[in-house]
Amino acid sequence: MNKSVTGLYRQQDEEQINSLMNWLRTELFSIWNCQSDQLDKDVCQIIKIHYKAELSDKLYTTAYHGYMKQIEESNHGHAYYQIGHYYQRGLGMDEKDINKALHYYEEAIKQHHHLACYDLAMLYEGDENGNHAQTLPVHKMDEKELIDIKVRLLMDAVVNGQHYYARKLLQMKYNNHPYWKDKLLEIKGDIDAAIDRPMTSSDMAELYNYLGVIECLLHADSIDDDSSDEEITDEDPTTTNKVSSINKTSKYAYACFQKAATLGDCQGHFNYAYRRMLSPQPLTDSLSNSTKKIQFSPIGDLLKSAIHGHPLGWYCVQLALNLLGKDTIDNNRRIQETLIKAAQVSGFSDVLRELAYTYLEPRQGWQYNHELARQYLEQALTTSSSCLYPNDNRHHYYLGYLYQKGIGIGIDMIQAAHYYATILQKPNRCPTTMVLLAKLIEKDTLPRSTILDSVRLYQSACLQLEPLASAYACYRLARISYQGLISQEVGFDHSKATFYYQMALKLLQAVSPCPLSYYLKGNIYSYTSIELDPSNNEKAPTDWYLAASEYYNSSLEHRYYAIKAKLKYEALRSTQRQEIIENIVYMNDEVQDLWQNKPKEIMWSSYRIALRYQNHDFKNKIYDFCYRKYRQKLHESDNMNAHYQLGCYYRYGLGGIRRDPAIAMNHYYKAISLGHSLAYHELALLIGCEEEGDDPDDFCQMYPSSKQCAEYRLELLLQSAYLGNINSFHYIEQQAGDKIAWNKLIDASIKTREKSYRHGKGKKLHQDDLTKLQVELGLLLMIREVIFDQPNSLSVNEIINHLNKAAKLQDPAAYYYLGYLKLKLDQKFFKGSNKKLDAPGYFIKAAKLDYMAAKLQLVQLLLAGEKISMEDRQIRQILIDGSQYGDPLSTLTIALGRIDGRYGIEIDTDKAISSLERAMAEDHHDVISKILPDDVIGSIYEFDSHCTNKYIKARHWYSAQILSHLNDCQGRISLGYLIEKKKIPTASIFDAIKLYQSAIYINDRYAGFAHYRLGKVYSNKQYNKFYDLESAKAHFRMAHRQFQYNLLVTGKNACRDCYVLAKMYRRGYGMNVNSRKAVMFYQKAIDQSKADNDITMLRYRNKAAKALQQYM
């Protein structure tokens, strides 16, 4: 599920939240001059105003033709259902046609489509008054015959897709209607009688699935019982306990599903895994009181159901991965790939929405593509939900939000309001969507609406059981009251506004922290410091800072509030200098004069600009180029890195290469034979496990049980760890922390190696084998004793003792891991000779024994700024060795050396770019981004590359920096500079100005440079619309002041600041020409660059040296 939305609510007692909301309703109606019924009528009328039928009809017409084409080409079951759905409800057509709906539903049911079964059952059920469509043959049936049909259809809906509403309706009818109960028991009796008769395996599997579903109904908890025939409507999953809807399924029900699965039935696998996934209680034997706790992962059975064609299998695999997996590149890639498969198989709206989120959310391994996300969201509006869970309309608002904020499409408030209204037409209105529509109306962006309309929507949102949306609605009502926008006849005044603020704060206590909750609290504290508590004024900046700090991990709509919080924080933080506050006030006026806008919109504009200039295919093009280079190398000779990299290409499907585990395995084996230790790790992970739900398409060999898979993987991973692959060590560590089978296996491995060492000494085993056993014992003990989380002297001493024994016999792995322990543990654990040598010293010892992992560790230390006691000649050799091995950090360091000459590397910018791109292609674990900021990569392309498309590549990296970092000026300034200097042909100077302005609001040490660039723009007569010498002089003065402050206080980027100051004095930008000071600052720039030790500052040093030479 979308974690950004579902993770907003704390797991509190439901009664407590219900009590809070009921009390709030009572209090609110006591101050409103309207009743509940009248409020609902007003909201319906507002929704009707903003719903544009022609826009929906256009989407439905397009979808209709698409589904008809699917029917013609592949007889697609879901397409039949959707066409029937459209005819039943008259979507995208002039009128309803129940006959055609029946026809298409029946065609879909032939292919076991669970939604068609349920919808047809509902046609037979009739409306709330029991009336049926005239074309249905209901009048020819008696009540029992009609119930027989409905029971069968609802049972099919549950058996074929675990339809939530079908389960709920069956349970309610079973509990409250004797004939329904008798009919279900009759079906159970018929199945029990028929189960032993000869029949096909598919028929037998179907009977077992039916039996399992009926058994679930018989053993459902009374807590889930319905006592009335209330209408089944969409429910908010935040208020529905999904676990209680399944409750105590009997052991016999699980056995039935498992029997169906053993017959090769995809529904059996799906039903078993799905029911178990939602019912984490111990298996309960219906015939006894005994319980047996079983460790269970649903992924294996879900995967089998998907592979055998269940339309919901892939979707549920993704749900399980999200629930059980970690936020890693590999897991996130797998989630996105699984959703793509799910969308291809079924195309349910919840599947499409989840897939769209992967192109909107900032998780590792996911690429931004807001245009593609919008297309999926539009498609989701015209298709039906899978109904695995209660329909959740909250997520639909994303589409309206994209139009409102201009993400992936131009800003269109009418379209945004339409999509919000579309969602609000559905049952159980989404309060978040109400608030968003109300805000559009409040800000006067929509025709035919008044401020009273927004108030009604806010009031309705206040009454919903969703604390965050209700809190925001209360907050907006308070703001409207304080601003005096509502007449007294509606019943608002300032005291009521204070009440709303208090309600909002109370509701926010039930919300998990997120940028919006922090932002709201900060605002409320700042507005109510006098009325509620004077100390609140001190809390506001803290909450705004917390909101801004959550920017990277936030969903799209919460990023907007993180930006707003950042602006509030910068304007009010107590440590701010007076001149900076004056700068911000000046910028506010400028933004208002130029754009008739507010700072938050300028900041958001910079985000949208960055989205436009990001190149989604950039990485794939690098992969494609490097793939051809690796193939060429293998044609020339066997190359271990080429084999290793091609193995990764085929394993992960990089650069559009089709995944092929068998080819990947072949390349890894060849890499190992040539001495590439990293290949052991990748080879181990190509071994899959059916029990853990590994997709056979992604693995070259599958083991049925976790134990068998762990045994095979552990040996390969231990070999990899012995050769210094720290990722293998951490992988074993993680598995041991998560899985019992691995813990037992590690204990057994320790005993085996201890025994082997004792026997080996007596039999005079070869020295290399003995030292390897000692190192492996040390590694296994590190993992078992969890020494990095809970270090204790006895365990650490035992581990060091094992490593010391191996080190005495010159085992480089022992030196390496002693160095690793030195990096991770407190020095108090080291005694004697171990205390004297530091971590780099151990790594150098191992490197001298040609231990590759130690060389790579030394490269990491060098990039981290550590001083290493080695000559440049030795460092260069280590970098060459690491690069030939395929280490991205070694290749990156060589690239940087070819730019700035570090470690005596010969400067060659063309080769530098080639090395940089190779490093990016070989960076399979995203380590470069943690070392080299995106804007620095962009600057390398801009200033050091000679390729024809260097500016396109530069703008991509500058855009990436803006999108992923809120507290970043440099990316905005650099992208703005490219636009200003017309390096991007289609770009507008408007974009450059907005980027510079947004950089100033961020207010870091680069803000002076943004002022300087704005001064240059406003003083340039080419930009007639913006030519303003007074504004230019003001920005030059602010730039001068910021540069002087930087030099006096921070000392960072001193080279660049001195260079620009020299230029300002030389040209008279905002001050009188002063050649003496210009020369002084040029010289300072040259001197300061030695201390900056940065490739960007190197460029300014060269510029300063050239300018100074002209003076001389």
Name the pLDDT band for 152 (thresholds 50, 70, 90): very high
Is the distance from CB of 121 to CB of 153 less than 8 angstroms? yes
pLDDT at 806: 93
Q: Which two tokens stand for residue 245?
A: 């809807």
pLDDT digits (tens, 9 = 90+) for 788-827: 777 888 888 999 999 999 999 999 999 999 999 998 888 8
- The mean-pLDDT minimum among 148-162, 527-541, 695-709 falls in 527-541
Neighbours of 32 (CB within 10 A): 19
Q: Is 687 helix (H, G, I), strand (E, B) or coil?
A: strand
> Is the pLDDT score of 438 beyond 90?
yes
Contact call for residues 386 and 345 (beta carbons, < 8 A) = no
Across 440-467, average pLDDT:
88
**What single string gives the DSSP state of each residue in 1074-1109?**
-HHHHHHHHHHHHHHHHHH--HHHHHHHHHHHHHHH
Residue type for position 9:
Y
Q: Of 131-145, 216-230, 487-501, 700-714, which has the strongest mean pLDDT?
A: 700-714
DSSP-assigned letters across all residues of 632-654:
HHHHHS--HHHHHHHHHHHHHTG
The C-alpha atoms of residue 833 and residue 493 are separated, in whole angstroms, by 77
Kindly provide the b/e burial profile for residues 178-212, where b requires at least 16 CB atoms within 10 angstroms of the residue's own CB: eebeebbeebbeebeeeeeeeeeeeebbbbbbbbb
Percent of the chain clearing pLDDT 90 (strictly above):
46
For residues 22-44, average pLDDT: 77
Average pLDDT over residues 9-36: 64
**Residues contacting residue 1102 through CB under 8 Å, at least 6 positions apart:** none
DSSP 905: P
At 1002-1041, the pLDDT tens digits run 877 888 999 999 999 999 999 988 999 999 999 999 999 9
> What 8-state DSSP symbol labels residue 513?
-
The sign of the CA dihedral 134, 139, 144, 146 is: negative
DSSP state of 700: S
Q: Return the ∠ at Cα 688 (arms to 687 and 693), rounded to 5°.
A: 165
For the record, the structure tokens of 850 come out as 């040609």
Contact 1040, 1077 (CB under 8 A): no
Ordered alpha helix ranges (H), 382-466: 397-405, 413-424, 431-442, 451-462
Q: Quick check: 126 and 143 in contact, CB under 8 A?
A: no
- What pLDDT shows up at residue 229? 41
Check if the beta carbon of residue 589 is closer than 8 Å to that of residue 546. Answer: no
Stretch 395-423: mean pLDDT: 89
Mean pLDDT of 48-77: 92
> Residue 702 is inside which H or E element, if any?
strand 701-703
Half-sphere exposure of 941 (CA within 13 A, CB side): 23
> Which residue type, as a one-letter code, is found at position 421?
A
DSSP-assigned beta bridge partners for residue 1105: none
Q: What is the mean pLDDT of residues 548-564?
A: 82
Which pLDDT score, from 0 to 100, does residue 907 have?
Answer: 92
Tokens of 1048: 């006096």
Distant-in-sequence, close-in-space partners of 995: CB < 8 Å, separation ≥ 6: 606, 609, 972, 973, 975, 976, 979
Asked whether the beta carbons of 870 and 844 are under 8 A apart, the reply is yes
3-state SS assignment for residue 688: strand
| Whole-structure pTM value | 0.84
Share of the chain above pLDDT 70, in %: 87
pLDDT above 50 (res 838)? yes
Residue 702 sits at φ, ψ, to 5 deg, of -120, 135
* Spatial distance between the Cα atoms of 510 and 748, rounded to a whole number of angstroms: 47
Lowest mean pLDDT among 280-294, 431-445, 853-867: 280-294
C-beta separation of 971 from 965 below 8 A: yes
d(CA 317, CA 387): 16
For residues 482 and 826, what is the distance between their CA atoms, to the nearest angstrom? 57
Q: How confident is the model at residue 923 (pLDDT cuts 50, 70, 90)?
A: very high
Residues found in the chain:
1112
- In this structure, the strands spanning 701-703 and 687-689 are parallel
On the question of pLDDT at 488 being above 80, the answer is no
pLDDT at 482 over 90: no
* Phi (first) and psi of residue 687, to 5 degrees: -90, 120
Q: What is the rounded average pLDDT of the residues 595-603? A: 88
Q: By mean pLDDT, which of 89-98, 199-208, 230-239, 916-925 is the weakest?
A: 230-239
**pLDDT at site 629:** 94
Average pLDDT, integer, range 100-106: 93
Contact 1017, 992 (CB under 8 A): yes
Compute the C-alpha angle 427/432/438, nearest 5°: 100
The CA distance from 674 to 565, in Å, is: 55
Handedness of CA 471, 476, 482, 487 (dihedral sign): negative
Q: How far apart are the first and last CA of the chain?
A: 67
- pLDDT score of 10 more than 90: no
DSSP 232: P
| Phi and psi at residue 701, to the nearest 5° | -150, 135
Residue 978 has a pLDDT of 96
The pLDDT assigned to 301 comes to 87
Instruction: Give me the pLDDT at residue 447, please.
Output: 87
**Cβ(887)–Cβ(849) under 8 Å?**
no
Tell me phi and psi for residue 148, to 5 degrees: -55, -45
Asked whether the beta carbons of 110 and 76 are under 8 A apart, the reply is no
**pLDDT given at position 292:** 35
Please state, in angstroms and rounded to a whole number, the distance separating the CA atoms of residues 628 and 880: 22
Tokens of 411: 């800003």
Type and span of the H or E element at 689? strand 687-689
Helix (H) or strand (E) holding 701: strand 701-703
> Which residues are CB-neighbours of 832 under 8 A, at least 6 positions away?
none
Give me the pLDDT at residue 365, please. 72
Beta strands in 171-324 (DSSP E): 283-284, 291-292
Calpha distance 205→184 (Å, rounded): 18
What confidence score (pLDDT) does residue 127 get? 60
- Average the pLDDT over 852-866 and give the result: 93
Q: Are strands 687-689 and 291-292 parallel, antiparallel or unpaired?
A: unpaired
Q: Which two tokens stand for residue 1016?
A: 């240059």
User: What confidence tier does 876 reach under pLDDT thresholds 50, 70, 90?
Assistant: very high
- What pLDDT is attached to residue 329? 78
Separation CA 454–CA 426 (nearest Å) = 19
More confident residue, 557 or 41: 41
Comparing 458-467, 769-778, 878-887, 1082-1091, the range with the smallest average pLDDT is: 1082-1091
Higher pLDDT, 322 or 980: 980
* Over residues 768-777, mean pLDDT: 92
Q: Are 330 and 359 spatial neighbours (Cβ–Cβ below 8 Å)?
A: no
Question: Amino acid identity, residue 613?
Answer: Y
Contacts 24+ apart (CB under 8 A), 196-205: 201/263, 201/264, 201/265, 202/263, 202/265, 204/260, 204/263, 205/259, 205/260, 205/263, 205/264, 205/265, 205/267, 205/268
Which distant-in-sequence residues (6+ apart) come within 8 Å of 313 by Cβ?
266, 269, 270, 302, 303, 304, 305, 306, 307, 342, 345
Q: Are 775 and 802 in contact (CB under 8 A)?
A: yes
Check residue 290 and give its pLDDT: 37
Question: How high does pLDDT run on average in the chain?
Answer: 85
- Please give the structure tokens belonging to residue 593: 């004069």
Q: Is the per-residue pLDDT at 341 higher than 70?
A: yes
CA nearest to 7, candidates 497, 553, 494, 741: 553
Inter-residue contact 314 to 306 (CB < 8 Å)? yes
Q: Which residue has the higher pLDDT, 228 or 580?
A: 580
Q: CA angle, corner 757, sides to 755 and 763, nearest 5?
A: 105
What lies within 8 Å, CB to CB, of 400 at 6+ separation is 415, 416, 417, 418, 419, 420, 423, 433, 436, 437
Rg over alpha carbons for the chain, rounded to the nearest Å, is: 33
